[in-house]
Chains A and B, each alone.
Chain A
Amino acid sequence: MLRARNLAHVYEETTVFEGLSIGVEPGEVLAIIGPSGGGKTTLLELLSLSLPPTAGTVSVGGVDAWAADAASRLALRRQVGMVFQEASLFGATVARNVEYGLRIRRSWRARVRDQLSGLWGATETSPAVRDALAVVGMDDQRDQPAGALSGGEAQRVAFARALAYDASVLLLDEPASDLDPRNTAALEAAIEEAASRGIGVVIATHDMHQARRVADRVGVLLDGQITEIGPPAQVFERPTDERTRRFISGELVY
């Protein structure tokens, strides 16, 4: 579904990755673990097609994104959703936030009509929006202003926002890293639901317990390379690479 091959990336004369290959399949949850500052976010940015790699390919559905023209690449980019560590909701209601991805994919005429009808009075919330909010358990707060939400609630809305427009891949950067158990559970349930709908989900996390809970496969990113990749049980209990073993057992200090 989303596949990176031989990815190399150089940032300010530092080689961040070299020869890195990784992919996620529809309906699969892939967790990427590794130390902070180890390049997880950069990897996600490359996968989300918002950053071009120095070398290598990133393909969506088999199409090489950076070899395509700008219009095609935009279409591919729009199949991939990304949720950042900070929710960064817009200054509007929860529903309007979640609706954003849907809105920008419509024609300009439809968008202008939306805006005008929004000015005259409350409009109906579309089913797709409500469904996405229901997945994260926030449907009853859909008319709240985003600023009134707690951090955890905002994070859940951010997930719903990426879910609403039927992306085929979702990339999550440190979801639930600062969340209380209730919000974390809601978010992880949402991740499972997304995967069950055939969406490929990639999570970058330093929380190995979370990786264990939600992931179908775990990739370990160390020294700019995927040192280990496989089901959680294998990676955590029977790592093949020595570096992986030391990282997991906490011996390596980064």
Chain B
Amino acid sequence: MGAGASAGLAGCSQSESTETGSGTTQELPGVAGETLTLTTTTSTYDTGLLDEIHTDFQELYGVTVDAIAQGTGAALETARAGDSDIVMVHARGLEDEFMRNGYGVNRRDLMFNDFVILGPAADPAGIDGLGSATEALATIADAESTFVSRGDNSGTHTKELDLWAAAGTDPAGEWYQETGTGMGEALNIATQQGAYTLSDRGTYISRRAELDIAIRVQGPIEGGPAILANPYGIMAVNPGVHENANYDLAIAYIGWITSPGAQEAISSYQVDDEQLFFPEAVSADPGFQQYVPEGWSSDSDDG
């Protein structure tokens, strides 16, 4: 499935024609007039990227995209129930499970950004400039410096838990505070308390003017450890599981967003004069692993 196969789709209804101002007819794709329901995470939505690029897609096909920001878990759950047509999250483990269960098809790597570890200028735990995220967290735990966690099973929280596990530490105690809030709110809380926290770079950039905490450990975009990478994937809801999923339009969307034009638009998107997302979809490297659960091979027992 590539970018070019978008319009001529299996099961597509007749194209519709419309008169343009000059009197010539213009063919609109058969999906014109329909609505694509896309579920994604709150941090993705809050960057404003989707509102920026969706206009192009909508005009191209004469359709509407309803972008719904839920938590990572909720976005996948909604897609699993068939209430959305396409899902965009950044939690590879959960995406793999989604595919294994047959709920999602046609996965593509979309883009990536990264996480950063933020903390107060005073840096009580002394982690500033460390090249290892796990070492930084272990140090914070040892020093029992206040750490603010999302605590909500979001993509960010999942990554944070992975890091603690990799650091061999089980965070517990007064210094470890689980807020159960969105990223922006969590940053406010961390600032007020002069605490450390893990944040996606995008939210940090859009909030940094109001914060008293700053980057102590960089992510891979600025030379930090690869473990802090935050890759985004997109999947269409399997029409074999949900007959009324708008598969045609979902594939059109995936085709469009992984096309060079849209990927360029993604890389041009800036907040506070900084690029937020780094496109991954267009590559000479075949990247087979993006289509299947990580580690899958035809020799394995999976699917």
Direct contact of A and B (CB under 8 A): no
Binding site for B on A (CB under 8 A): none
Binding site for A on B (CB under 8 A): none
